[in-house]
Structure 1
Amino acid sequence: MNIRKWLSLFFTTLIIGGAVGLVVGYLVEWRSYTDAIFDGKVVSFMISLATLFGTGCLFSILSQMGFFAYLTVHRIGLGMFGSASLWSKVQIVLIVFIFFDLVYFRYQAFATEHQSVLAYFILPAALLVVSMLTALWKKKETNHYAFVPTLFFMFVVTVIEWLPVLKPNDLRWIWIMGVTLITCNAYQVLILHRLIHKTDERTKEQKAL
């Protein structure tokens, strides 16, 4: 990937993150924002929207950092374990480990008396379903070797990026940050092979000249 493609990916992801953060943030507290409009607090309303957009942009940058960090870790993993098959098995084990850690530690930290542990399966299960759908899409557009790395990135890396709001258990920010991260991560992983393919084609054309 050349610099132009990377900058295009960066700014596109940035705008997507800002837009998603704005929309989800508004929907989470739509009543308070609607009341602000009816009360004539237009300036305050616009500042709030700008803040949500800026926050979404920050989350998108975090998503991009995680994405490029995983690309590095993925190459290291392939070299360390010697084969894509063994590295995939290691990633599957880590996915299972993170899934149950996310359930167990959140249950231990936030469960009220008589609250069932099943309630704490909802968030990781929903993330896993989205991750699997994204991985299946990636597999369809590329090859079957892309399934596990995509699943790992979408689940494990998203959880790591999500930790700042998962620990305080602030439901508002869990929604805003979670949806923004998932959207940005899915966009990056699904667009990457197209950018690389275009770059490879251009390189071949230049060599032909």
Structure 2
Amino acid sequence: MNTRKVVYLFYTTLLLGTFSGALVGFLLDWRTHINDLANLQFGGIIMVIITASIWAVIAQMGFFAYLTIHRFGLGIFKSVQLWNRVQVIIIAFVLFDLVIFRYWAFAEGEGIWGYLIMPGLLLGYGLIVASIKSKETNRLAFIPALFFIVVVTTIEWIPALQQNDFTFLTTSIVPLLVANTWQLLVLHRLQEPASKSDGKNNKTK
């Protein structure tokens, strides 16, 4: 990608992540925010926007970190299939840890079943996004896409996972997922024009 496309990816991801996170933050406490706006008090809504933008930036850092790790993994294992198997194992470990560690930390005489919901929803969402990515590119992209949505998003989500607060968990995961989904699904579209133009250039040579 050229610089213009990188800048486009940065700003669109920031805007989408910030907007989605701010919208969810506003809706979860809409009475308070409406009262503040009616009284010309903007501090609360400004903090919601700033917090959402921070999560969007974290998602961007995670995305570029994963691109580096993905290339590094391919270089180590010398095979896309082998690297994908390693990623599947890591996905399973992360989902297991997402259940068991939060259960150990926050369960107070309750069953473990409730702690399966959040990882299950994340896995289900990851499967949907990975299916879209593989259809738009190739079948080998399925596992890396699933890994990115599940594992990388979970790592980015760690500050919120340390708290057992529904509002904090929701207002953090929404901008992360929106930003990560956008980056994942738009990346190959940004790369397509360059590859097509290269193909045309090769044909004319």
TM-score (norm 2): 0.94
Partners of 1:151 and 1:8 lie apart in 2 by 24
Distance 2:60 2:169 in 1: 19
CA distance in 2, matches of 1:11, 1:80: 33
**Secondary structure of 2:157's aligned partner:** helix
Q: For each residue in 1:86-108, what CA deviation from the matched residue of structure 2 results, as whole angstroms up to 9, or x when unmatched?
A: 10000000000010111000000
- The answer as to 2:140 corresponding to 1:145 is yes
Aligned counterpart, 2:79: 83
Alignment of 1:45-60 (within 5 A): 46-60=42-56
Cα distance in 2, alignment partners of residues 124 and 23 from structure 1: 23
User: In structure 2, how many angstroms separate the alpha carbons of the residues matched to 1:9 and 1:47?
Assistant: 29
2:74 aligned partner, one-letter code: L
The AA in structure 2 aligned to 1:137 is: I
CA offset digits 1:58-100 (Å, max 9, x no partner): 1111101100100110011111111000100000000000101
Q: Is the 8 A contact 2:36 2:44 kept in 1?
A: no
In the alignment, the residues of structure 2 paired with residue 137 and residue 24 of structure 1 have an alpha-carbon distance, to the nearest angstrom, of 25
Shift of 1:57: 1.4
- 1:185 maps to 180
RMSD: 1.6
Cα displacement (A) at 1:112: 1.2
Give CA-to-partner distance per residue, 1:152-193, whole Å, 9 cap, x none: 000000000000010122221110110110110000000000
Are 2:33 and 2:45, in contact at CA under 8 Å, matched by a contact in 1?
no
Q: What is the DSSP-based 3-state SS (H/G/I as helix, E as strand, rest coil) of the residue aligned with 1:169?
A: coil
* Contact persistence 1:18–1:52 (CA under 8 A): no
1:202, CA displacement in angstroms?
A: 4.0
Q: Deviations over 1:132-156 (max 9, x none)?
A: 0000000111110000000000000
Give distance in 2, aligned partners of 1:154 and 1:91.
Answer: 12
Contact 1:102 1:124 in 2 (8 A): yes
Identity of aligned pairs, percent?
Answer: 42
Amino acid at match of 2:44: S
Q: Does 2:104 align with 1:108? A: yes
| Gap regions ≥5 residues in structure 1 | none
TM-score (norm 1): 0.92
1:22-61 correspondence runs (5 A): 22-37=22-37, 40-42=38-40, 44=41, 46-61=42-57
Mapped contact 1:95–1:152 kept (Cα < 8 A): yes
Aligned pairs for 1:64-75 within 5 A: 64-75=60-71
1:170 aligns with 2:165: yes
TM superposition shift of 1:51: 2.1
Counting matched residue pairs gives 204
> Amino acid of the residue matched to residue 149 of structure 1?
P
- SS of equivalent residue, structure 2 residue 87: helix
Q: Does residue 1:120 correspond to 2:121, yes or no?
A: no
1:138 touches 1:190 (CA, 8 Å); kept in 2?
yes
